[in-house]
Structure 1
Amino acid sequence: MESGSTDALLRPNDNCWRIEHAKRFSLIVDADDYFAAAREAMMAAKRRIMLIGWDFDARISLCHPGHKDEGPKKLDDFLIWLVERNPELEIYILRWDVGMVKAIFRGNTLFTLLRWKAHERITARMDSVHPFAASHHQKIVSIDDSIAFCGGIDMTSERWDTRDHADDNEDRVLPGTTRPYKPWHDATSLFDGRAAAAIGELTRDRWEAAVGQKLEPLNESAPQWPPSLSPMLEEVDVAIARSYPEMKHRPAIVEIERLYETLIADAKTLIYAESQYFASRRIAIAIGKRLQEPDGPEIVIINPLTADGWLEPVAMDTARARLVAALQRMDTHDRLRIYHPQTANGNPIYVHAKVTVIDDHVLRVGSSNFNNRSLRLDTECDVAVRVESDEQTGTVAGLRDNLIAEHLGVDPQIVTDEYAAAGSMIAVIENLRGEGRTLVPYEIPDLNGVEKWLADNEVLDPEGPEAIFESFTGDSRAKRGLFRGWHMVRKMRFRRRSRTAA
């Protein structure tokens, strides 16, 4: 599919920005493999590396534990080493400004910033060009405009983990300490070709918007695919979708919101999703419509047990409880499940991945979550691949089954075989769930009145800049709220009941 072309599902300038070709594409699960692959790709960089992220921690080791090559392990030393060994290389780092304030209190952050600033070919900047309360949330690495990583993994602390999420992993500790942090599940993507060149354009656009400096595109060069990573798909078209809030001289961009709604509406048999949150009113409405259909798809969502941080549980967990309760009342055909994974010792695994697989023909991965901020307030970037050949649909289905098998602690082939036999992924998961490493069904907690009010009024998870300042009094209350728009789902339900009665 050429740039700017459209089909019934993915539509440039509607539910995506661009559709561009990639010769190679891979889904990377968990930061152990991501950090290693990113290190290899950056070591092969010729002219430019752009690191665009919510947060960076210069103290992390950007490699497998115990790995040895010619470069330093830690991110701060590694970046300086890269530019000193290659006089033509320039590195640009863009991070969220509030994340920078947090980073100031980490160990040697100020010293690292001074070292980077002292080097004429390393430029680190903070992205503060956002409306009030919005954040820069994209997680992108662009190398020479020829290879790109795009997903949900930040190059920061408390992200590294291996796919076994072992309870006693001695390497899963805070940088420079022996203090462990919780098991962490995450995902990103890697691709090349014109799709990677488009991501290069996107990162330059973000840089110019935040810093005011215009960077010229690079002449296309042969990408250096990381040798430790085999491509999972070849010769595929990649749709790139964005969320941008309304900013000065730039209208809001809601491509990701439209992409989610399109994918949910298009699913035939199974929607499988991993997300840090489940708090989006619009996504819940789209799911609710599908649950009303007698022959709609199964919907399996993997969430963490509870949101991370001190404020997020109040906002995200409460909204999740309210939305799931409403959806369960609509789920008369018993096709919705939400689970959270746990380790062999029964400890929660934090789900930070943002992955969606629709049937066996669409794979989406990016930085956006199932929450209002991701759709309308923060800057986000997702990519989606649609495949049609038997070989490629088998690969996409295999990636989905591999993720589910990871959470259940079983061989992926078992999930594939049982799904082929049962025709129900919910039945497969319920049959394979057990003690230890497994998936645990979500249970709706009791909520107090304040929590319900915060969730219902989207106080801590607004849909956009304008929603933050809407009054909670008078007629304006109808403009906002977690259940705004649900009347359309109720009307669908009433019409179906009427037709059944007739």
Structure 2
Amino acid sequence: MPHIFKPGENCWRVEHAERSSMLIDGENYFRAVRKSLSQAQQRIMLLGWDFDERVEMHDTVETPEGPLRIGAYFEWLLKKNRDLDIYVLRWDTGALKSFFRANGLMTLIRWYLHPRVHFKLDAHHPVGAAHHQKVIVIDEDTAFCSGIDVTNNRWDTRAHDEEQKHRLQPDNNDAGPWHDAAMVVQGDVARALSEYAEQHWQAAGGKQLKTVTARADCWPKGLEADFRDCPIAIARTLPEMDDQEGVHEIENLYLDLIATAKDFIYAESQYFGSTKIAAAIAKRLDEESGPEIVIINPQSAEGWLESEIMDSRRARLHQALKARDKYGRFRIYHPFTDAGTPVYVHAKILIVDDQFLRVGSSNFNNRSLGFDSECDVALDASAARDGRVAEQIAYTRNDLMAEHLGVDLAEVENAFGRTKSLIKTIDMLGKDGRRLGAYETPDIDAVEKWLADNDVFDPERADNVFAGIL
């Protein structure tokens, strides 16, 4: 058992993965999902915060088989395979907008009447909470755990081109360059994720699930495995309810990973708004020989409410941490395209010392740590039988940095090999155009005045410094 993973404390289960791979950005994710779905024999389960049946799974590298639109693709699979059942469980509140889309409503009606499509809106959550996990399981053999919903504005290539016609879907609006990430797994860990999906389906009041007896290989054809023969932990957040105890495995695992870091922490998150995580980072910044910490965020949170609340909270936490950062080891960066357009960071990734890799649906915000339903997967290189796991984690980190910096992978590898520092590597390879820009606190005077009146890291008040549940 990996020393950091403790079932019942910072994870739910630790299960063996025959194969697993990182999928960076929407095109690679949808290609892999499409190929796995095509190999399903008996059951597909999809859990999500959102689901848009109009989404088209474009591929600029390969010619896909079957319809591009996910709803039509599901129907195509059902016609090809009379033994296949499809289960879609989505957050009920987020589904309201679907009923105002004519095409979407007609699809939902057809599915409601289809004997092998089972569509359920999940209302098993506290008022105001969301089912935020993104999990797809195919025949208990292969599963995807990610930050990517099968919905609008998630598809993009790794080039993040300024003009990309395939991003104009399905509402003909371009959300702009979009960065995201997922993990695909096969083996016992996929069966565990199937149990996770079944539990949510049952808690939502879904009908009896079809039993899976097939032992098909549903790994995406042509996808090379990044990791083989290694244990993977599954960590969850579940809100406390009358019929459900609260589960805070995701929060505990974040805190344990931050505490165990020796050299560096590389993170990508849509938000930076958790006081608990910031306090854990502050503690490490106090150490003379502690790790350097780099967080990749979008320049601004999406939507008016999120922007007003989350951007303000990030500003306060950033300044509070900079005040503790006497050794200069903390940075927040935003990626930009060649034309200077911000790339929206929706990925949820944590890499520690090239030893630990974590991917899933949870962000660095309070909702993800205790209010919404979340699901992450994580692996520890020291627990893997394959001694190359740490090398592959390093490759993944360098590859992500190369994408954001707009340079070749070899340049990042060489620079990091010389500097042994994330921050110095980013500074060395920084240039005009596609780049990582350093975060600058807006309205710094107002932020510093607020900080003077509020002790962000007072442990007795850490959970209550920021009002609300975000």
- When normalised by structure 1's length, the TM-score is 0.87
Contact 2:263–2:291 (Cα < 8 Å) also in 1: yes
Q: Is contact 2:293–2:330 with CA below 8 Å preserved after alignment?
A: yes
Unaligned segments of structure 1, at least 5 residues: 1-5, 458-475, 484-502
Q: Which residue of 1 aligns with 2:175?
A: 181
User: 1:164 maps to which residue?
Assistant: 159
Q: What does residue 457 of structure 2 align with?
A: none
Code of the aligned partner of 1:402? D
CA 479–39 in structure 1, closer or farther in 2 if over 3 Å, else same: closer
Alignment match, 2:51: 56
Deviations along 1:40-88, whole A, 9 cap, x unmatched?
Answer: 1001000100010011111111241585454211111111111121111
Matched, 1:255 2:249: yes
1 CA distance for matches of 2:81 and 2:99?
29
String of CA shifts for 1:443-472, please: whole Å, max 9, x gaps. Answer: 00117979998xx99xxxxxxxxxxxxxxx
Which of 272, 284, 295 lines up with 2:289 in the alignment? Answer: 295
Distance 1:74 1:309, change over 3 A: same
1:3-22 equivalent positions in 2, closer than 5 A: 6-22=1-17
Structure 2 CA distance for partners of 1:251 and 1:216, relative to 1, 3 Å: farther
Shift of 1:409: 0.3
Q: Secondary structure at the match of 2:100?
A: coil
Contact conserved, 2:46 with 2:89, CA < 8 A, in 1?
yes
Indicate the SS of the match to 1:13: coil
Matched residue pairs, number? 458
Tell me the CA shift for residue 477 of structure 1: 8.6
Structure 1 vs Structure 2 CA RMSD: 2.2
Q: Which runs of 4+ in 1 moved over 4 A?
A: 65-70, 447-453, 476-479
Aligned to 1:380: 374
For residues 230-379 of structure 1, the aligned pairs below 5 Å read 230-379=224-373
Contact 2:24 2:180 in 1 (8 A): yes
- How far residue 248 of structure 1 moved from its aligned partner, in angstroms, is 2.4
CA distance 1:70–1:325, change in 2 (3 Å): closer
The question of whether the paired residues in 2 share the 8 Å contact of 1:201 and 1:217 is answered with no
Would you say the 8 A contact 2:22–2:183 is kept in 1?
yes
Match of 2:400 among 392, 398, 403: 403
> Cα–Cα, structure 1 residues 447 and 373, in superposed 2: closer, same or farther, change >3 Å?
farther
Distance in 2 (CA, whole Å) between partners of 1:105 and 1:343 is 34
Q: 1:91 to 1:216 in 2, by over 3 A?
A: closer
Retained in 1: the 8 A contact 2:56–2:169? no
Instruction: Tell me the equivalent position of 1:141.
Output: 136
Shift of 1:229: 1.6
CA distance in 1, matches of 2:80, 2:429: 51
Deviation at 1:149, TM superposition (A): 0.3
- Tell me what 1:115 maps to: 110
Report SS of the residue matched to 2:388: helix
Matching residue of 1:480: 464
Q: Alpha carbons of 1:364 and 1:452: their partners in 2 closer, same or farther (altered >3 Å)?
A: farther
Distance (whole Å) between structure 1 residues aligned to residue 112 and residue 191 of structure 2 = 27
Q: What's the % identity of the aligned pairs?
A: 47
Unaligned runs of 5+ residues in structure 2 are 455-459
TM-score (normalizing by structure 2): 0.93
2:90 maps to: 95
Could you report, residue by residue, the CA deviation over 1:349-376 in whole angstroms, capped at 9, with x for unpaired residues?
Answer: 0000000000011100000000000000
* Partner residue of 2:432 out of 415, 420, 435: 435
Query: Which of 70, 74, 82 does residue 75 from structure 1 map onto?
Result: 70
1:45 aligns with 2:40: yes
Listed one character per residue, the Cα deviations across residues 219-257 of structure 1 (whole Å, up to 9, x for unaligned) are 461422111321111101100000000022210000000
Shift of 1:174: 2.7
- SS of 2:400's partner is helix
